[in-house]
Amino acid sequence: MIRPSHALLLVPPALAAQGPKPVAPPSEDAIIERFRAFAAPRSVTRRGPLTQEELNTIRRVKSVKKSVVGITALLLEKDPQTGAVTRKPVSSGSGFVWDAYGHVVTNHHVVTWEGPEGERITETPVVEVTLSDNKTYKGRLIGFSFAFDIAVVQVFAPLDQMKPIPIGRSNDLQVGQDVMAIGSPFGLDHTLTKGVVSALDRPIPTDYQTRILKGIQTDAAVNPGNSGGPLLDSSGRLIGMNTAIPAATGASVGIGFAIPVDTLNQIVPLLIARGALEPARMGFTVLSAYDAMQVGVNRGIVVDTVDPDAPAFRAGLRGVRRDARGNLIQLGDIVLAYQGQPIKDEGQLAALLEAERPKNDEVVLDVLRDGKVIQLKLDLKDKKPLPARI
């Protein structure tokens, strides 16, 4: 028998000095495979009750969902070879049900299309409105204001599917109170963002170089597609229509604007009843932007016809000349400026006429005629109804 004291003699001295041999750590693949066996759903941590603020927001959003719609504006394009007509979406946004008669309110720029330089050309011939149940119906533009960037669409949908939005006030808003914006940013329908009233009495610029007064500024995210959607207070009442974001960014940067509901409540009934506001009468029509471009005019507006005994006629404004077949043989005057402000298109001139009537009922037009710029003074006291927009 070997005695314990003799056991060390059986181990080489060098190995005895090294101690136990270290074990190599497991490889990454071994670790991965080992822990795969523990794959299982996590246990759910119990949630506490929703706050009163959360419950209020959820309730208000549900209550107005049927009042908020998506709007798509389309152009009709005809294939020159096959003659087939296709519908091309050119603009989209949001809107809300105004009353029990199928009227939907949105921004005017939502139902127009842009020209090559970003200018607003004209209203689109086809409007589609998508309700909260995702069903889409035909809409028809029945009223609009250039100056206030407001449009009214008659929607041909079952009236029981269209719930009028509750109307609030904007003249008693306070900076700091909670607001909610609902719309279809980037085509994502019924998207909710929250924020506060950041400021009041902000002038909001329009696409027609006019300004909407008493605008509401909010930090609720307002992105492309939110235009025309409702801005609500914490009671779920309409207090404004989301209408603009900083043009330089194209996306929300924590600053959004809304047309105040008090302005909407004044303008929308007029648009429903009349189709348009009643600006000062000038008494002439103009070529469409497309026709003007076809004859080489890319700035100002081309006078087409002048109504006899209207302010424009008495001031000497000249329209185009046509032959017996209606073909244009000579250009009319080209209006370049109104009251010293350059005019890009008919919509801008109409907006300026809507926004403010001169106190002395006299306006000055800068007109290009036979290669020279002249000024014509128009007396707008004539109250005769307009034959066209301007």
- Domain end residue (candidates: 204, 234, 265): 265
Query: Across residues 379-390, what is the average pLDDT?
Result: 57
Residue 47, domain member (yes or no): no
* Stronger pLDDT, 388 or 179, i.e. the higher one: 179
Question: What pLDDT does residue 6 have?
Answer: 46
Choose the weakest-confidence range: 138-142, 251-255, 280-284, 340-344: 251-255
Convert the pLDDT of each residue in 103-133 to its tens digit.
Answer: 999 999 899 877 666 666 677 778 999 999 9
User: In Å, how far from its chain's centre is CA 177?
Assistant: 24
Residue 166, domain member (yes or no): no
- Domain end residue (candidates: 265, 294, 320): 265
Residues 153 and 182 in one domain: no
Residues 79 and 137 in one domain: yes
Q: What is the CATH number of the domain that holds 247?
A: 2.40.10.10
Convert the pLDDT of each residue in 31-58 to its tens digit.
Answer: 999 999 999 999 999 989 999 989 999 9
Distance between CA atoms of residues 232 and 253, nearest Å: 20
Residues annotated as part of the active site: 109, 149, 227
Residues 254 and 182 in one domain: yes
Residue 245, domain member (yes or no): yes
Contacts of residue 248, defined as CB under 8 A and 6 or more positions apart, other chains included, come to none
Residues 141 and 77 in one domain: yes
Contacts of residue 24, defined as CB under 8 A and 6 or more positions apart, other chains included, come to none
Query: Across residues 220-228, what is the average pLDDT?
Result: 84
Determine the structural domain holding residue 347 and report its residue range.
284-379
DSSP track, 292-306: HHHTT--SSEEEEEE
Q: Which of 144, 102, 98, 96 is nearest to 123 (CA)?
A: 144
Residues 111 and 154 in one domain: yes
Residue 389, domain member (yes or no): no
Residues 256 and 289 in one domain: no
Contact 241, 222 (CB under 8 A): no
Q: What is the CATH number of the domain that holds 299?
A: 2.30.42.10
Tell me the range of 137-141, 312-316, 358-362 where mean pLDDT is highest. Answer: 137-141
Residues 240 and 306 in one domain: no
**SS3 category, 144:** strand
Residue 386, domain member (yes or no): no
Residues 260 and 305 in one domain: no
Residues 253 and 299 in one domain: no
Question: What pLDDT does residue 382 have?
Answer: 58
* Stronger pLDDT, 3 or 294, i.e. the higher one: 294
Does 9 score more than 70 pLDDT? no
Residues 306 and 348 in one domain: yes
The number of domains in the chain is 3
- Domain end residue (candidates: 126, 161, 196): 161
Question: What pLDDT does residue 11 have?
Answer: 52
Residue 21, domain member (yes or no): no
Residue 188, domain member (yes or no): yes
* Stronger pLDDT, 326 or 68, i.e. the higher one: 68
Question: pLDDT band at residue 59, thresholds of 50, 70 and 90?
Answer: very high
Cα angle: 100, vertex 102, 105; to 5 degrees: 100
Residue 110, domain member (yes or no): yes
Residues 151 and 84 in one domain: yes
Residues 182 and 256 in one domain: yes
> Would the pTM of this model clear 0.85, i.e. be above it?
no
Residue 111 region by backbone torsions, left for phi larger than 0, else alpha for psi between -120 and 50, else beta: alpha
Convert the pLDDT of each residue in 61-108 to its tens digit.
Answer: 899 999 999 999 888 877 777 878 777 878 889 999 999 999 999 999
